[in-house]
């Protein structure tokens, strides 16, 4: 009986979040894939970047959020793909953005980036799937600084499995009048400034306002999508020839809830493996680790320790990300701009 009440409470919380608060999934390892938050990151690396991610939030709690995603993005532009502004040979030789390349970093040649991502987020009976194609244009605004402008466009599909919802009144019009499956257009934009050892980004998701759960009666309110704004930045510096540190932060603005933020610190050893920690305001602490297994594959894992009221019923949050580096002509073992 207790578990059923807790499940219903979680369902109601999910409905409230969709109506008035955060309507997109959150990630602990967004630093590993900023492309999910900002379309301007499309084509930032000199290879085709593929990511597969899975996040199980508040494990142990029935109906808790589960998020999975697939993303791919790649650069377009001969000057960039065949080398970069550092004028290294198009094949062979050392990649101009290898370790410690920040000492002689030069902005990349102007180029385009394209990509695609699909994100599925399920909470109780509610499943939201977002499919977006992305485009970005990268140009050098100084000899050491690039600016990228990006756009994401696609569709959002929202589905409510009403069979999983049991109410005291089986004829409650709030449930019976719901349009359980909906497709809506989706649009996002972003700006990304980056150099050899830092980045700053601003993006907006879900900027087209849409009604959700349209009803045929007057007894239930319509909920609406709200824009999500993200401000993020990071800085990389070397402690030694082998060890680098990167502090970073993310601030989220989602009306009408108060602004929230994440702060992170990641330590990398020779770009082969990394460890990190993260804090999300009023929500969790997290530990992160990753291994760059080869020039073809890398993997990251994080575990969130819940600090909110849900800590009494949650076993924490697990998130794993698998990265695949296709067309990796310089045999990099680590992202150079994603860090």
Angle 96-97-103 (CA atoms, 0-180°, nearest 5)?
90
Is the confidence at residue 91, as pLDDT, over 60? no
The confidence band for 257, taking pLDDT boundaries of 50, 70 and 90, is confident
Q: Which CATH architecture has domain 2-326?
A: Beta Barrel (2.40)
Cis status, amide bond into 256, omega within 30 of 0: yes
Q: What is the pLDDT of residue 89?
A: 40
Q: What is the pLDDT of residue 16?
A: 47
Q: What is the pLDDT of residue 181?
A: 83
Per-residue pLDDT of 19-73, as tens digits, reads: 445 678 889 998 889 999 999 999 999 899 999 999 998 887 777 889 999 999 9
Q: In whole angstroms, how far apart are CA 80 and each of 74, 147, 338, 339?
A: 11, 14, 17, 19
Is the confidence at residue 87, as pLDDT, over 70? no
Per-residue pLDDT of 99-150, as tens digits, reads: 555 566 778 888 999 999 999 999 888 899 999 999 999 999 998 899 999 9
Q: Distance between CA atoms of 327 and 331, rounded to whole angstroms?
A: 9
Q: What is the pTM of this model?
A: 0.83
Angle 160-166-168 (CA atoms, 0-180°, nearest 5)?
135
Q: Distance between CA atoms of 65 and 62, rounded to whole angstroms?
A: 9
The confidence band for 231, taking pLDDT boundaries of 50, 70 and 90, is very high
The confidence band for 240, taking pLDDT boundaries of 50, 70 and 90, is confident
Q: What is the pLDDT of residue 59?
A: 81
pLDDT > 70 fraction of the chain, expressed in percent and rounded:
77
Q: What is the pLDDT of residue 322?
A: 96
Per-residue pLDDT of 137-177, as tens digits, reads: 999 999 889 999 999 999 999 888 877 776 666 666 666 66
Instruction: Rounding to the nearest 10 degrees, give the CA dihedral for residues 229, 142, 35, 311.
Output: -60
Q: In whole angstroms, how far apart are CA 286 and each of 39, 97, 301, 306, 308?
A: 26, 30, 10, 9, 13
Query: Nearest 5°: phi and psi at 323?
Result: -110, 140
Overall average pLDDT of the 287-295 stretch: 92
Q: What is the pLDDT of residue 18?
A: 44
Q: What is the pLDDT of residue 334?
A: 81
Choice between 177 and 285, residue whose per-residue pLDDT is larger:
285
Q: What is the pLDDT of residue 86?
A: 35
Q: Give the best-scoring range by mean pLDDT among 12-26, 37-51, 203-217, 323-337.
A: 37-51
Q: Distance between CA atoms of 152 and 279, rounded to whole angstroms?
A: 28
Residues 9-15: contacts with CB under 8 Å, at least 24 apart: 10/61, 10/62, 10/63, 10/64, 10/123, 10/124, 11/63, 11/123, 11/124, 11/125, 11/126, 11/165, 14/63, 14/65, 14/123, 14/124, 14/126, 15/126, 15/223
Q: What is the pLDDT of residue 253?
A: 93
Is the confidence at residue 17, as pLDDT, over 70? no
Where does residue 304 rank: exposed (0-12), middle (13-18), buried (19+ CB within 10 A)? buried
Q: In whole angstroms, how far apart are CA 288 and each of 225, 235, 307?
A: 31, 18, 17
Angle 241-246-252 (CA atoms, 0-180°, nearest 5)?
170
Please name which of 290, 250, 285 lies closest in space to residue 274, comparing C-alpha atoms: 290
Per-residue pLDDT of 175-207, as tens digits, reads: 666 677 889 999 999 999 999 889 999 999 999
Three-class SS state of 86:
coil
Where does residue 268 rank: exposed (0-12), middle (13-18), buried (19+ CB within 10 A)? buried
Q: What is the tally of helices (H) and strands (E) in the chain?
A: 3, 17
Are the beta carbons of 200 and 233 closer than 8 angstroms? yes
Return the domain boundaries, the chain: 2-326
Query: Nearest 5°: phi and psi at 314?
Result: -110, 145
Are the beta carbons of 107 and 147 closer than 8 angstroms? no
């Amino acid at each position: 009986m207790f578990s059923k009440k807790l499940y219903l409470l979680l369902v109601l919380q999910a409905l409230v979040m969709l109506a008035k608060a955060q309507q997109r999934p959150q990630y602990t390892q967004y630093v590993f894939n900023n492309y999910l938050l900002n379309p301007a990151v499309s084509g930032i690396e000199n290879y085709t970047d593929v990511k597969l991610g899975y996040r199980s939030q508040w494990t142990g709690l029935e109906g808790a959020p589960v998020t999975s995603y697939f993303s791919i993005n790649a650069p377009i532009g001969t000057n960039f793909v065949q080398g970069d502004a550092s004028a290294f040979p198009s094949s062979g030789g050392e990649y101009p953005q290898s370790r410690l390349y920040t000492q002689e970093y030069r902005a990349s040649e102007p180029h385009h980036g394209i990509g695609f991502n699909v994100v599925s987020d399920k909470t109780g009976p509610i499943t939201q799937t977002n499919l977006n194609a992305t485009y970005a244009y990268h140009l050098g605004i100084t000899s050491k600084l690039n600016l990228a402008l990006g756009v994401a466009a696609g569709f959002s599909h929202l589905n409510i499995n009403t069979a999983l919802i049991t109410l005291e009144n089986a004829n409650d019009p709030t449930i019976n009048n719901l349009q359980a499956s909906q497709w809506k257009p989706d649009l996002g934009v972003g700006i990304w400034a980056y150099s050899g050892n830092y980045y700053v980004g601003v993006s907006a998701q879900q900027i087209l306002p849409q009604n959700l759960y349209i009803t045929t009666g007057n007894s239930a309110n319509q909920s609406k999508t709200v824009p999500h704004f993200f401000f993020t930045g990071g800085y990389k510096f070397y402690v030694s020839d082998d060890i680098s540190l990167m502090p970073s932060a993310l601030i989220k603005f989602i009306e009408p809830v108060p602004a929230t933020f994440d702060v992170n610190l990641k330590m990398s050893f020779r770009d082969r493996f990394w460890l990190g920690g993260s804090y999300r305001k009023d929500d969790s602490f997290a530990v992160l680790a990753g291994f760059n297994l080869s020039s073809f594959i890398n993997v990251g894992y994080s575990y969130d320790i819940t600090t909110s009221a849900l800590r009494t019923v949650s076993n924490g949050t697990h998130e794993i990300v698998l990265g695949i580096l296709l067309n990796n002509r310089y045999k990099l073992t680590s992202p150079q701009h994603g860090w």
